[in-house]
């Protein structure tokens, strides 16, 4: 399943948001040319050395791409990039706010030369407005979008443990680019996309925003438990194992009382009869549920919950995820080559394909000479650019 074969994406990208978006396009068959700084490359390459000497972030977001080193501050480097963009289908960038436009890489200018080009700018806060020029890393946007206000415990806020604002922006860039390509197939015209990390994250904040609608109190920080649905969260079994469980409706609640707690009359008690009532009385109800969990091992509790049936889960470590039986049974792990050796990688979610595209993670500048050759530059020209660190 490679529906984007024949589509060329040029991505002036760094860190997570744009590389994550372009990797999704590469997964579907697009040719992705990743433009990096000569000598140093995407700074995410040096975040850590956990994956065969390479950065965990970089290996995750950069498979199936070609690496072209280019100094676009040098007129010769900028000319090469413009030549690439003259025939590309998509230009994606997440440089510092305004940097691409100042370099002459704004949508209006690029589309004058290539009317079918889809231009996608990713930034922290979007073009225009008082926050336009602010630097925006994932944690900063989580804070501005209100994520921190609803994440953590009663005593302390906490960031989400993954780069949720980067990922949100990357996925909206990806889906918006796909939509723009479909539109272009009808009209022949490219599009200008302005993806904001703030707006992508606030879109995901819909539940707490509406829960706090018109000045109502926001959902409280509840740690690993759900802020407004109960019981929904962690419970500790008698052997110390934490089991996650969730009740979503009154039918489940009644069966849970009867088959797990052994007291169906709890379902009809006024203080527990509805979710809103259970949420208001979660302290007293929590003691009843905790006492039952204390009688069981973690495995026994999971078995009893499955018999109800009630949604439940173990709290997996990272090693548990690598070894997850469901992922193994569905053959979701494949191998990807990297400059440090082959590593395991998850197949693209949703794609049903025995041989999904899982091409190598590129070394810095690995494809520079080949790409410049495609553009018609001779060996001497390329050598001169390399000598001056333009490529």
Q: pLDDT (tens digit, 9 = 90+) per residue, 172-198?
A: 999 999 999 999 999 999 999 999 999
pLDDT of residue 353: 82
**Cα 385 → chain centroid:** 36
Coil/strand/helix, residue 163: coil
Per the residue annotation, which of 27, 71, 121, 166 is the catalytic one? 166
Establish whether 320 is a catalytic residue. Answer: no
pLDDT of residue 288: 96
pLDDT of residue 354: 83
Nearest to 46 by CA among 56, 37, 33: 56
> Rounded distance, CA 363 to CA 343, Å?
15
> Rounded distance, CA 276 to CA 290, Å?
20
Packing angle of the helix pair 164-187, 17-27 (nearest 10 deg): 50
Q: 236 pLDDT exceeds 80?
A: yes
Nearest to 91 by CA among 208, 7, 4: 7
- Segment 222-229 shows an average pLDDT of 91
Q: 356 pLDDT exceeds 90?
A: yes
Please check whether residue 36 is in contact with residue 69, taking contact to mean a CB–CB distance below 8 angstroms.
Answer: yes
pLDDT of residue 218: 94
pLDDT of residue 1: 74
> Rounded distance, CA 286 to CA 293, Å?
10
Computed over every residue of the chain, the mean pLDDT equals 95
Q: Is the peptide bond before 315 cis (omega within 30 degrees of 0)?
A: no
Q: Would you state the structure tokens that stand for residue 384, as one six-digit string?
A: 């001169």
pLDDT digits (tens, 9 = 90+) for 207-219: 999 999 999 999 9
- CA dihedral (190, 89, 94, 176) in degrees, to 10, reads 60
pLDDT digits (tens, 9 = 90+) for 239-265: 999 999 999 999 999 999 999 999 999
Domains, the chain, ordered by start? 8-205+330-387 (3.40.50.10540), 232-315 (3.30.1540.10)
pLDDT of residue 265: 94
> Rounded distance, CA 76 to CA 70, Å?
9
pLDDT digits (tens, 9 = 90+) for 18-68: 999 999 999 999 999 999 999 999 999 999 999 999 999 999 999 999 999
- Segment 297-312 shows an average pLDDT of 95
pTM across the whole model: 0.92
pLDDT digits (tens, 9 = 90+) for 120-138: 999 999 999 999 999 899 9
Q: Would you state the structure tokens that stand for residue 310, as one six-digit string?
A: 């009630």
């Amino acid at each position: 399943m490679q529906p984007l074969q024949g589509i060329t994406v040029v991505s002036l990208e760094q860190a997570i948001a744009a590389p994550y978006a372009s990797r999704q396009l590469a997964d579907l068959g697009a040719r992705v040319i990743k433009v990096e700084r000569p000598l140093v490359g995407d700074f995410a390459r040096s975040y850590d050395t956990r994956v065969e000497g390479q950065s965990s972030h970089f290996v995750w977001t950069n498979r199936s791409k070609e690496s072209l080193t280019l100094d676009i501050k040098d007129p010769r480097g900028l000319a090469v990039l413009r030549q690439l963009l003259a025939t590309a289908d998509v230009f994606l960038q997440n440089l510092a706010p305004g940097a691409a436009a100042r370099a002459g890489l704004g949508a209006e200018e690029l589309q004058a030369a290539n009317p079918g080009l889809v231009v996608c700018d990713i930034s922290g806060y979007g073009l225009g407005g008082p926050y336009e020029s602010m630097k925006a890393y994932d944690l900063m946007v989580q804070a501005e979008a209100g994520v921190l206000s609803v994440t953590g415990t009663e005593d302390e806020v906490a960031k989400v443990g993954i780069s949720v604002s980067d990922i949100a922006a990357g996925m909206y860039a990806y889906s918006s680019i796909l939509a723009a390509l479909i539109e272009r197939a009808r009209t022949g015209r490219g599009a200008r996309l302005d993806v904001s990390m703030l707006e992508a994250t606030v879109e995901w904040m819909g539940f707490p925003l509406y829960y706090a609608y018109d000045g109502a109190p926001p959902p409280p920080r509840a740690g690993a438990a759900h802020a407004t649905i109960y019981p929904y969260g962690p419970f500790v079994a008698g052997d110390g194992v934490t089991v996650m469980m969730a009740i979503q409706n009154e039918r489940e609640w009644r069966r849970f009382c009867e088959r797990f707690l052994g007291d169906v009359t709890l379902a009809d008690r006024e203080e527990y009869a509805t979710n809103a009532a259970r949420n208001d009385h979660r302290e007293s109800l929590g003691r009843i549920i905790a006492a039952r969990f204390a009688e069981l091992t973690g495995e026994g509790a999971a078995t009893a919950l499955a018999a109800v049936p009630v949604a439940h889960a173990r709290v997996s470590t990272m090693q548990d995820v690598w070894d997850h039986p469901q992922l193994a049974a569905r053959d979701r792990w494949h191998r990807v080559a990297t400059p440090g050796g082959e590593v395991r990688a998850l197949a693209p979610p949703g794609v049903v394909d025995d041989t999904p595209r899982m091409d190598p993670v590129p070394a810095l500048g690995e494809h520079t000479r080949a790409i410049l050759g495609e553009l018609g530059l001779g060996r001497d020209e390329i050598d001169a650019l390399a000598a001056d660190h333009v490529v």
